[in-house]
Structure 1
Amino acid sequence: MTEPAVSVRDMRVIFDEYVALKDVSVSVQPKESFGIVGESGSGKSTLLRAIAGLNSFVSGDLKVNGKSYPAKGRDKTFYRTVQMVFQDPYGSLHPRQTVDRLLLEPLAIHGFTDTEARIARALDEVGLGNGFRFRYSHQLSGGQRQRIAIARALIVEPKILLLDEPTSALDASIQAEILNLLEQARRDRDLTFIMVSHDLGVISHMCDRLAVMKGGEVVETILPEALTSRAFEADYTRQLLVASEGFRRD
């Protein structure tokens, strides 16, 4: 059996005395696009950030490609393998750094030497030319900022991309462009995706499987087709489906 790209077992996250994740377990296969959905406060972003090492977990186990990682203190190997794209393209890019500097920094950290070629290729891959290299983030639109954030994540050649609501801060027309860009990158690079979204329409379009979360727990894991055929078990999933803007009841 193939080793999971990401395996989370019995993960528990506590903020002060609030239990944000209650012994959550998920398993994501290599090259799979795995979605996590749920209402605000369900724990979906907390889970993603715990996988990324941005939130500490108090118990449980995290494995990436079979290697165990602690709650804190990830090494460079982890961040060469796992990169994250955040929800807010306005907040995730340093306002005083040019695009060139933003893309050069991860290359320097991970010891790449062919920086010129990699920056040019990264910008081309996200549909932006070399003319954007020396612009600042405030000179870019929201969609262009998110393209730069994706380029920065891809430039170190990760195998796993964590996506935290990557299009929710963008206009609807730009959302489709960014989702298509991500899907093309996944096919070209054989990437594994873990995508958090409140939008069931986005998740069902992008993902092979999805976990439904409520109150810090995984309610069920289903295929996207189960949403349209109503072939799910949890009543909460039905409520989420009805409430989602991406679907309409007959």
Structure 2
Amino acid sequence: MTSAVSVSNLSVTYDEFKALNDVSVEIAPGESFGLVGESGSGKSTLLRAIAGLAPVTGGTIRVHDRVLQGAKRDKAFYRAVQMVFQDPYGSLHPRQTIDRQLLEPLAIHGVADGERRILKALDEVGLGSGFRFRYPHQLSGGQRQRVAIARALILEPSILLLDEPTSALDASVQAEVLNLLEQVRRDHKLTFIMVSHDLGVVTHMCDRLAVMQGGRVVERLSSADLVAGRIGEDYTRSLMVASKGFQRKDAAVTA
């Protein structure tokens, strides 16, 4: 089966700092794949490299068996791949209404049925049409992240890149947004690549994960293996101990 995303021997260098060093991962279509590690381990850099936002200095990235060259991404890529960032306020234009921000990607890609897609996207993320003409500062953090998810979904992509999508939210709201993401993945048969420092989130949301340290992948394992303690690396064990609520049954995502 063709991989949804295939990263082979990828390196990313900023000036003389190697943020990614010979990283390889394979994500199957429809899979939810997690990237975990301490701050600076390279997990967000890997997402940014896939999205064309980081300077790749070696290796290859394939999306649906198509090799991506350099940092340039065409419209076809962004129809297939969308990214949800950590900070829902920073990723939305403060002076544009929600309607305008949902309309923009449709206009860029020449999609004609904007009215239907906007209403559908807002409905899917649990926001009614009354939110269309509000501004980001008029929304809560959870509502802003729902808008960011709606904007990512509006082009009907097959892959979502999720960079700590709930870490900037209050704990009481995190579960709601995670449940929403899980629902849209099922409904749209999406492929997820999710960065998180919270092993509880990863074990609940993801089928498999890669553990990153110092710009390298140091271990690959399933979420079931992580929960059962079938771990090969001391570094992964230290992450597990440091992460509160890593057990799947303890993850606060059922509210």
Moved over 3 A (4+): none
Task: State percent identity of aligned pairs.
Answer: 70
- Partners of 1:128 and 1:85 lie apart in 2 by 17
Instruction: State whether residues 219 and 234 of structure 1, in contact with CA within 8 Å, keep that contact through their aligned partners in structure 2.
Output: yes
Render the CA deviation track for 1:103-137: whole Å, top value 9, x for unaligned: 00000011111111110000000000000000000
- Partners of 2:18 and 2:143 lie apart in 1 by 37
Instruction: State whether residues 32 and 192 of structure 2, in contact with CA within 8 Å, keep that contact through their aligned partners in structure 1.
Output: yes
1:99 paired residue number: 98
1:225 paired residue number: 224
2:50 paired residue number: 51
1:181 paired residue number: 180
The CA deviation at 1:228 is: 2.0
- Partners of 2:175 and 2:246 lie apart in 1 by 16
The CA deviation at 1:229 is: 1.4
- The SS at the match of 1:92 is coil
The CA deviation at 1:68 is: 0.4
Instruction: State whether residues 50 and 71 of structure 1, in contact with CA within 8 Å, keep that contact through their aligned partners in structure 2.
Output: no
The residue type paired with residue 173 of structure 1 is S
Residue segments in structure 2 that go unaligned for 5+ positions in a row: 248-255
1:144 paired residue number: 143
- Partners of 1:72 and 1:41 lie apart in 2 by 21
* 1:20-39 matches, cutoff 5 A: 20-39=19-38
The CA deviation at 1:70 is: 1.2
* 1:82-121 matches, cutoff 5 A: 82-121=81-120
The residue type paired with residue 34 of structure 2 is G
- Partners of 1:118 and 1:247 lie apart in 2 by 37
- The SS at the match of 2:56 is coil
Render the CA deviation track for 1:180-234: whole Å, top value 9, x for unaligned: 1000000000000000000000000000000000000000110111122110111
1:77 paired residue number: 76
- Partners of 1:72 and 1:43 lie apart in 2 by 17
The residue type paired with residue 225 of structure 1 is A
- Partners of 1:55 and 1:241 lie apart in 2 by 29
Residue segments in structure 1 that go unaligned for 5+ positions in a row: none
Tell me how many residue pairs correspond in the alignment.
Answer: 247
1:245 paired residue number: 244
- Partners of 1:165 and 1:45 lie apart in 2 by 9
- The SS at the match of 1:97 is coil
How high is the TM-score relative to the length of structure 2? 0.96
2:134 paired residue number: 135
Aligned-residue Cα RMSD (Å) equals: 0.8
- The SS at the match of 1:58 is strand
